C-alpha cells in the first residue's frame, strides 16, 4: 500500500506524522511512503533525509492525495484536503469524533476508512499505539520546563554563603501520563512535589516517584472502565475544592492535567484559589484547549494576575518539542499499520474482531462505526455495585478489623484441619512418605500465600521465579520417570509435561513484555 504523509496546516503546528525512521520500518511491512514537500522541516527532518530513507517527496498535497491509498496526519484534515480525498482511501489521524460530528459525516460520505489515534483503547496490547499517552508524556515534561522558565527561583533547595534558598513546592492535579511525567520532571529538578487524582489506584504510582499523594477523607473512585478519570459527585467535588484551597497559599507551582474524554475540562482551580497564591507563583494549565482547569486560563496565552500569578494556557506543548513528539507519534502510527498488515505483505486488512482496530475505527465501508463497543479487556476492575456510599473513618476501621478477624479465623481453621489430616496420615503412612508430604504441603501453602494474592499486572516479574521452580520440578520428575511403579512413572511424565509448558509459556510472555521496551 502507498502511504502518504500530509503537511500540517494548523497554525504553530510543527509535528509530522512520518519520520525517515518510521518510513523504513513501514517499508519492511511491504508499504511504500510518500511525503509532502517540507512536511518535516519544522520538526527537524529535511526532505533529503526522507529521500535517503526511500520516501518519495511530492510537490503538493494534491499530488500526494492523488497518488496515495492511505493518508496519515497529526491533526484533522482541512475542508480543502477533504474535498480532494478519494473514495475508499484510508485516513489515520487525530479525529476526535465526539467533538467533530460533522467531520465524521463528511468522511463517511466519501466512504473513507478512518481510524482515530485518540480512540486507541487503553489495553496492554495497544500501549505501543497510544498516541495520547505519547503526546501527554511530552506535554507533562514540557509543562515543568515552561513553569521553571517563568518561575523566579531555583526548583531545588540550596544553602549558600549568601543565604538559604527553599525548594519550590509543586502541586500536580491529575496523575495520568502527563501528570506522572510532570512529577518526574519536577522531582528531577529538586522540587517538593505533591499530587492529587480522583483515582485512588494511582496513589502508589505517585508515591513511588517520590511525590506526596493528597488523600481525601471520602470513599469514591473516579475511574472508568477505560482507565480514564470519571466525573465526580457534588459531595466529592466539595471535599476536593476544600483540599485545593488549603494548598493554594503554600504552593509555588501548579500543573493541572485533568481531562474527561468527550467533555469540557472540569474547573478545579477557582478564582479565589488563584487569589490565595503567593506573588511569583506559576500555573500551567494543560487542559487549556478544552476550557482549562483554572477559571482564569486563556487558551494559547500567558496571563499575569493582579496578585502576580502567571497562568500559562499554551495548547501546543508537544509541538514545542516537535522532533521528539513526531518520532513518538510516527512510531504509534507505524505500530497501528503493523496490526493492519498481519501478513507483512503491504496489504491492509481491517479486522473488526481486533479490539484495537475496532476501537479506533470511526468510519468504514460507508458506515459510521463510532462509538465503538466496549473493549473485551478492561483497563481497571469495576465494582459490582456502582452506588457509592460515604463511610466515616471509624466505620472503615471497624470493617477492616472485622475482615482481618474473619481472615485470621479462616486461616486458623484451615491450619487445625490440616494438622488433623497430617496426624491421621501419620498413623498409617511410612516416615519417608510423611517427610516428603510435609514439604509438599508447606510448599503449596507458601506458594498460595506468595503468588495467589499478587495482582495480575505484577505476574510478569515473577516469571523468572516460576520458571526456576518449574525447572526443579522437571529435574525431580525426570528422576522418577524410570520408576518400576507404573503410577509413579505416569505422574512423573505428567509433571514433566506441565512444567515444560509453564517454562515455555513463561519465556514467551517475558519475551513479549521485554519487546515492548526495546527499540524496533
Residues acting as catalytic residues:
122, 127, 130, 133, 228
Cα 465 versus chain centre, distance: 27
CB-based contacts of 181, cutoff 8 Å, min separation 6: 136, 137, 138, 139, 140, 141
Query: How far is Cα 493 from Cα 510, in angstroms, rounded to an integer?
Result: 26
Burial (Cβ within 10 Å: 0-12, 13-18, ≥19) of residue 200: middle
Pairing of the two strands 212-213 and 282-285: unpaired
CA–CA gap between residue 206 and residue 76 (Å, rounded): 34
Strands 302-304, 310-312: parallel, antiparallel or unpaired by DSSP? antiparallel
**Alpha carbon 134 to chain centroid distance?**
9
| Cell 508447606 sits on residue | 442
d(CA 489, CA 232): 61
CA distance 235 to 214: 17
Q: 218-230 b/e with 16+ CB inside 10 Å = b? A: bebbbbbebbbbb
Q: Which residues contact 206 (CB under 8 A, 6 or more apart)?
A: 175, 180, 183, 195, 197, 212, 213
In degrees and rounded to multiples of 5, residue 198 shows phi and psi of -75, -15
Q: In what order do the strands lie in the sheet with 302-304?
A: 212-213, 192-196, 169-173, 253-256, 282-285, 310-312, 302-304
How long, in residues, is the chain? 520
Quickly count: other Cβ atoms within 10 Å of residue 352's Cβ: 11
The residues pairing with 322 across neighbouring beta strands, listed in sequence order, are none
Assess contact for 20 and 48: CB atoms under 8 A: no
Cell of 187: 522531582
Amino acid at each position: 500500500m502507498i502511504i502518504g504523509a500530509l503537511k500540517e496546516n494548523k497554525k504553530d503546528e510543527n509535528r509530522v506524522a512520518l519520520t525517515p525512521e518510521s518510513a523504513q520500518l513501514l517499508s519492511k511491512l511491504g508499504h511504500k511512503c510518500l511525503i509532502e514537500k517540507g512536511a518535516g522541516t519544522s520538526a527537524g527532518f529535511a526532505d533529503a533525509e526522507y529521500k535517503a530513507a526511500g520516501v518519495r517527496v511530492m510537490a503538493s498535497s494534491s499530488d500526494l492525495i492523488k497518488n496515495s491509498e492511505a493518508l496519515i496526519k497529526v491533526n484533522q484534515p482541512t475542508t480543502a484536503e477533504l474535498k480532494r480525498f478519494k473514495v475508499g482511501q484510508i485516513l489515520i489521524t487525530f479525529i476526535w469524533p465526539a467533538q467533530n460530528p460533522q467531520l465524521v459525516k463528511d468522511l463517511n460520505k466519501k466512504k473513507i476508512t478512518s481510524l482515530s489515534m485518540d480512540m486507541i483503547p487503553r489495553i496492554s496490547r495497544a500501549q505501543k499505539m497510544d498516541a495520547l499517552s505519547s503526546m501527554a508524556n511530552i506535554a507533562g515534561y514540557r509543562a515543568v520546563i515552561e513553569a521553571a522558565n517563568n518561575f523566579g527561583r531555583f526548583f531545588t533547595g540550596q544553602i549558600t554563603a549568601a543565604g538559604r534558598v527553599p525548594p519550590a513546592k509543586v502541586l500536580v492535579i491529575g496523575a495520568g501520563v502527563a501528570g506522572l511525567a510532570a512529577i518526574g520532571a519536577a522531582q528531577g529538578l529538586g522540587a517538593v512535589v505533591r499530587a492529587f487524582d480522583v483515582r485512588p489506584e494511582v496513589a502508589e504510582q505517585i508515591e513511588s516517584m517520590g511525590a506526596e499523594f493528597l488523600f481525601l477523607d471520602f470513599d469514591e473512585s473516579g475511574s472508568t472502565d477505560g482507565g480514564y478519570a470519571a466525573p465526580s459527585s457534588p459531595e466529592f467535588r466539595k471535599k476536593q475544592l476544600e483540599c485545593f484551597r488549603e494548598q493554594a497559599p503554600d504552593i509555588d507551582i501548579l500543573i493541572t492535567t485533568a481531562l474527561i474524554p468527550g467533555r469540557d475540562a472540569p474547573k478545579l482551580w477557582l478564582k479565589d484559589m488563584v487569589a490565595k497564591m503567593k506573588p511569583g507563583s506559576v500555573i500551567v494549565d494543560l487542559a487549556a484547549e478544552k476550557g482549562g482547569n483554572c477559571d482564569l486560563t486563556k487558551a494559547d496565552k500567558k496571563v499575569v494576575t493582579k496578585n502576580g500569578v502567571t497562568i500559562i494556557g499554551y495548547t501546543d506543548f508537544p509541538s514545542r518539542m516537535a522532533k521528539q513528539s513526531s518520532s513518538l507519534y510516527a512510531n504509534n502510527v507505524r505500530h497501528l499499520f503493523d496490526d493492519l498488515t498481519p501478513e507483512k505483505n503491504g496489504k491492509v486488512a481491517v479486522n473488526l474482531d481486533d479490539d484495537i482496530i475496532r476501537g479506533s475505527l470511526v468510519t468504514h465501508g460507508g458506515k459510521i462505526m463510532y462509538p465503538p463497543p466496549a473493549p473485551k479487556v478492561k483497563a481497571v476492575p469495576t465494582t459490582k455495585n456502582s452506588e457509592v456510599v460515604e463511610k466515616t473513618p471509624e466505620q472503615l476501621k471497624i470493617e477492616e478489623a472485622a475482615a482481618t478477624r474473619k481472615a485470621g479465623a479462616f486461616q486458623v481453621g484451615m491450619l487445625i484441619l490440616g494438622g488433623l489430616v497430617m496426624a491421621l496420615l501419620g498413623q498409617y503412612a511410612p516416615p519417608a512418605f510423611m517427610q516428603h508430604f510435609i514439604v509438599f504441603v508447606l510448599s503449596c501453602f507458601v506458594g498460595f500465600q506468595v503468588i495467589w494474592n499478587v495482582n495480575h499486572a505484577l505476574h510478569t516479574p515473577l516469571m523468572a521465579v516460576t520458571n526456576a521452580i518449574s525447572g526443579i520440578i522437571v529435574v525431580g520428575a525426570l528422576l522418577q520417570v524410570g520408576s518400576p511403579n507404573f503410577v509413579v512413572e505416569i505422574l512423573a511424565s505428567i509433571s514433566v509435561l506441565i512444567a515444560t509448558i509453564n517454562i515455555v509459556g513463561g519465556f514467551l510472555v517475558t519475551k513479549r513484555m521485554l519487546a515492548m521496551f526495546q527499540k524496533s
